Amino acid sequence: MALVLFNTMTGRKEPFAPREPGVVRMYVCGPTVYNYIHIGNGRAAVAFDVIRRWLQFRGFEVIYVHNYTDIDDKIIRVARETGETVRAIAERFIAAYEEDLAALGVLEPTHRPRVTEHIGPIVDLIRRLIERGVAYVRDGDVYFRVQKFPEYGKLSKQPIDRLLAGARVEIDAAKEHPLDFALWKRSEGDVAWDSPWGAGRPGWHIECSAMSMHYLGATLDIHGGGQDLIFPHHENEIAQSEAATGVTFARYWLHNGHVTVDEEKMSKSLGNVVLVRDVVREYGGRALRFFYLNTHYRQPLRFHREAIASARSAVERLDGAVAALNHALPGSVPGEAPAALLEALRAIEADFTAAMDDDFNTPEALTAMFALVRTAHAVARDPGRTRGAVEAVLARFRRLDAVLGLLSAAEDVAPADVLALVAEREAARRARDFARADALRAEIRARGYAVEDTPEGPRLKRVSRS
């Protein structure tokens, strides 16, 4: 089965083929670094991390660019309120962002450019737009002429007149048309750079076009981001990029769905903004990552505590299966994996692959992963298991988790001494030595873990040592 993905531009699933065989050039809009990221930002980071991982699993070289907006009105406002410099604000929240993404198991991108380090390419792109007559200067500001780009609105599927009627357009007498947007903003002091039009700083939209083309060329294979970026940000990126180059800016557009809290969109006015680091502190990064992946990336996702707690339990089931295999390995008899087991493992991976090839359907991929969990426990409980059988299942876990990133994320499984006690307790239970099993349960709890007996085998959960 070929990999297909949903292209926002065409509104349908399409077979994926990069422009250059074997190489995928992907750009995903990063954060404006003026605050800690919320769970909506975290969802986008995890969604495109898994997409990148799957492309690599399928054998592509992926050049992945994920930017930082480190100069913006919001950052300037925070700097004025706190008395810090714009640079200090940006550095602090870049460090926090990278800490949060590490907790979520997100791999480092190929390039993570900052706007302030790419003023030259931004100025060059604006100059090209002015020379082509699709941008104009007004008292040190530079604007893009939307009406000079006839295809404006093709991503959001709205003509200019309808976009104008439905958009909250900033009133600005300097603009030739209300939908024209800023490429360069007149500015002074430590938030300004020299340009042919005077001191200033880039507009929000131009930065992504300039940085993506700087690293990936005039045409990207995949451009991604949240659904909230379709208009105006991605629409404006298309307009300014294609007006400058005359070629298609991005061949596939991918957008992840919104995250709501109690069915309300997150907003400061409602007081319902949930930060990634707060959820990670309470439930762990892998639980939040599983929560994201248990819903298809394009679908809306409702955040609630019960779902996160359930996700944490699911991750513990994965840990338990791997732990059972690791402890079964030393007592296994020499020998290869049985042919029937190898066939079952191939069938599980085939289901996993079919799910991921169908527009990165992670919920179905997780279903395959838990089929692997059941297989793991069956092998671990088999008194006649071979070493080859255990190693084959462990290898399949590692292979599929390279895509999902659930076992290899920041948190560790229980230490070896605790896992040894779990294995000893399980042996006591099978021998119906329940007094010994209860004593071992107490010892396990004293070390900070509770053991739960399930049809699939014992499952551990962190608890307070007290």
What is the token pair recorded at 437?
A: 């099993």
Q: Does 131 carry a binding-site annotation?
A: no
Is the distance from CB of 62 to CB of 24 less than 8 angstroms? yes
Q: Does 237 carry a binding-site annotation?
A: yes
Q: What Rg value do the Cα atoms of the chain yield, rounded?
A: 26
Tokens 């991108």 belong to residue: 109
| Rounded-to-integer distance, Cα 197 and Cα 137, Å | 7
Instruction: Give the torsion through C-alpha atoms of 266, 272, 276, 281, to 10 deg.
Output: -170
Q: Does 233 carry a binding-site annotation?
A: yes
| Rounded-to-integer distance, Cα 451 and Cα 431, Å | 18
Q: Does 81 carry a binding-site annotation?
A: no
Is the distance from CB of 397 to CB of 371 less than 8 angstroms? no
Is the distance from CB of 367 to CB of 355 less than 8 angstroms? yes
SS (H, E, C) the chain: CCCEEEECCCCEEEECCCCECCEEEEEECCCECCCCCEHHHHHHHHHHHHHHHHHHHCCCEEEEEECEECCCHHHHHHHHHHCCCHHHHHHHHHHHHHHHHHHCCCCCCCECCEHHHCHHHHHHHHHHHHHCCCEEEECCEEEECHHHCCCCCCCCCCCHHHHHHHCCCCCCCCCCCCCCEEEEEECCHHHCECCCCCCEEECHHHHHHHHHHHHHCCCEEEEEEEHHHHHHHHHHHHHHHHHHHCCCCEEEEEEECCEEECCEECCCCCCCCCEHHHHHHHHCHHHHHHHHHCCCCCCCEEECHHHHHHHHHHHHHHHHHHHHHHHHCCCCECCCCCHHHHHHHHHHHHHHHHHHHECCCHHHHHHHHHHHHHHHHHHHHCCCCEHHHHHHHHHHHHHHHHHHCCCCCCCCCCCHHHHHHHHHHHHHHHCCCHHHHHHHHHHHHHCCEEEEEECCEEEEEECCCC
In this structure, the chain runs to a length of 466
Q: Does 29 carry a binding-site annotation?
A: yes
Residues at the annotated binding site? 29, 208, 233, 237, 268
Annotated binding-site ranges for Zn(2+): 29, 208, 233, 237
Binding site members for ATP: 268
